[in-house]
Structure 1
Amino acid sequence: MLVFIRKRAFASLISLVLLIVAVFFLSRLTGDPAALYLPSEASEEMRQQFREVHGLNDPIMVQFGRYIWDLLHLDMGESIRKARPAFDVVIESFWWTLQLAVITMSLVTAAAIVIGSLAAFRAGGFFDRVASVTSLIGASAPDFWVAIVGIVVFAVGLGWVPTSGTGSVWHWILPVAVLFIRPFGLIVQVVRGSMITALSSAYVKTARAKGVKSRPIIFVHALRNAMLPVITVIGDQAAALLNGAVIVETIFGFPGVGKLMIDSILQRDFNVVLAAIMVTAIAIFLMNLLIDLAYSLLDPRIRH
């Protein structure tokens, strides 16, 4: 098991290093922060002083070397815009995204497993057809379109929920509902297909022949063996949410890490961009490691 974990951790570390290198150099292509933060009438001397203070006057390779050195000492630099450590700025926003992702994926996973399993148990029946059509529509619906329709109908038209913010439970309803739809549709389809295969296997037929009730057959015997592809999709969808749910957070003015990344790119706050991507990447790598461990527990052959 330890060898298995080390291999996964080493692969994740290589990916993280490559990501840091790519983002560092690509972020510099967005332009000169001095042109954005200083007034148009600022003198060249003032611009040079601004660049000197923020370490932007040095050659790009010198800047990169200094950033890596600071990073090895757990220093991600300072936010130009907020004059605070970039890591602190990112953690504040990441906490909001993490809450949103955990709430959404908890609801999605519970609902999708139950509905997909019941649909597979009565494959071809009325409930199966309704669940299949509903999940296909949900999996195909663009998040930005659902978000805009939700605001127009439920926030502006009916006035049931606020359009943006995080001040109360009501502010969370639309973002969670919008982020719920697509992963729910995808996971229901995967659970249904995987459960149909599991329910047609010999051990399930034997359990039915012995008179085992339907609930243990679905949720004990068949579900565990059907979970490997389901865990893959759940992990992918959770990673997408952890990655910021950028569009939804921007539309609803949700102060998550996705919105922070977009704002920081537009404002050329390089250190915050790098810190946001790094924190998000580490969270995703850790989650993928947990998924790999879940694989190995469900199917020990995967360890080898």
Structure 2
Amino acid sequence: MGFYLRQRTIQSAISLLGLIVLVFFLARLTGNPADLFLPADTPQAIRDEYAARHGFDQPVIVQFGAYLMDLLRLDFGESLRDGTPALDYVLAAFPTTLLLSFWAMTISLTIAIVTGSVAAWHPGGVFDRIASLISLTGASIPNFWIAIVGVLVFSVWMRVLPTSGTGTPWHWILPVAVLFIRPCGVLVQVVRSSMLAAFASPYVKTARARGVRERAVIFVHALRNAMLPIITVAGDQAAGMINGAVIAETIFGFPGIGKLLIDAIMFRDFAVIQAAVMITAIAIFILNIGIDLLYSMLDPRVRHG
């Protein structure tokens, strides 16, 4: 297990380095920050002084080298907007995104496991057909469409939910719904397929022959052995929620990492962009390693070498 952890850590570090290079140079392609932070009629001398103060007067490769040296000291740079350390912005916004993703993923898994298991227990029945139709529809609808329709129906027409903010639990309903509907639809299909295979296995037939209660057969014998593919897809969906968070947080004014990243791109705030992407990538790498470790806990046959 120790060898596996070292191997995955090295692989993650290489991927992270490649991401750092990509984000750094792509961010510079968005243009000169001075065009946004300085008036159009600003004298060239002031523009040159602004560029020198932030290191933009150096060649890009030199800027990149300086950025790498700062990273080794855990210095992510300062925001161009107000001089606040970029890492402070990211650490202040990231917990909101984590909490939003946690609730969305928890609801998705709970609904998917129950719905998919019951649908697989009687394949082809009325419940199975209805669940398959709804889950396929949910898995196919884009997040931005759900968000827009949600605001239109529940905020504009019915006036029962707020359009933005985080002040009360009611403010969380639409953002969480936007994030959980699509993953839930995908997971229902995965749970159903995994449970169908589990129900046809010998150990389930043996449990039935021994008179084990139906609920125990479904949620103990079958579900535990069907969890590996479910965890795999759930991990991918959890990592993909960061993309959905960008849409949800922007539309609903949620102060999370997604909205912070969009604002930083619009203002060409390079340090904040780089810090947000790096912290998000590290969180995803840790999530993936945790999922792989969970495999060995659920199935002793899984060995990492």
- Residue 244 of structure 1 deviates from its aligned partner by 5.9
Mapped partners of 1:242, 1:290: distance in 2: 17
The answer as to 2:10 corresponding to 1:40 is no
Question: 2:194: which partner in 1?
Answer: 194
1:51-70 mapped onto 2 (5 Å cutoff)? 51-70=51-70
Size of the alignment, in residue pairs? Answer: 304
CA deviation map 1:14-50 (0-9, x unaligned): 1001000111011101000111100111000000111
Question: 1:215: which partner in 2?
Answer: 215
Mapped partners of 2:123, 2:77: distance in 1: 56
- The two structures have a TM-score, normalised by structure 1, of 0.98
- The question of whether the paired residues in 1 share the 8 Å contact of 2:165 and 2:171 is answered with yes
Letter matched to residue 131 of structure 1:
A
Question: 2:228: which partner in 1?
Answer: 228
Question: 2:115: which partner in 1?
Answer: 115
The answer as to 2:86 corresponding to 1:91 is no
- The two structures have a TM-score, normalised by structure 2, of 0.97
Letter matched to residue 129 of structure 1:
R
- Residue 159 of structure 1 deviates from its aligned partner by 0.4
Percent identity among equivalent residues? 59
- Residue 142 of structure 1 deviates from its aligned partner by 1.1
Question: 2:279: which partner in 1?
Answer: 279
The answer as to 2:24 corresponding to 1:24 is yes
- Residue 298 of structure 1 deviates from its aligned partner by 2.2
Question: 1:302: which partner in 2?
Answer: 303
Instruction: Name structure 1 gaps, 5 residues minimum.
Output: none
CA deviation map 1:118-157 (0-9, x unaligned): 1111111111111111111110111111111110110010
Mapped partners of 1:92, 1:243: distance in 2: 19
Over aligned residues, Cα RMSD in angstroms?
A: 1.0
Mapped partners of 1:3, 1:214: distance in 2: 42
Question: 1:8: which partner in 2?
Answer: 8
Mapped partners of 2:70, 2:303: distance in 1: 38
Change (3 A) 1:244 1:258: farther
- Residue 242 of structure 1 deviates from its aligned partner by 3.3
- The question of whether the paired residues in 2 share the 8 Å contact of 1:164 and 1:253 is answered with yes
Letter matched to residue 271 of structure 2:
N
Structure 1 stretches of at least 4 aligned residues deviating more than 6 Å after TM superposition: none
Partner-residue secondary structure (3-state), 1:114: helix
- The question of whether the paired residues in 2 share the 8 Å contact of 1:244 and 1:259 is answered with no
Letter matched to residue 181 of structure 2:
I
Letter matched to residue 228 of structure 2:
L
1:133-212 mapped onto 2 (5 Å cutoff)? 133-212=133-212
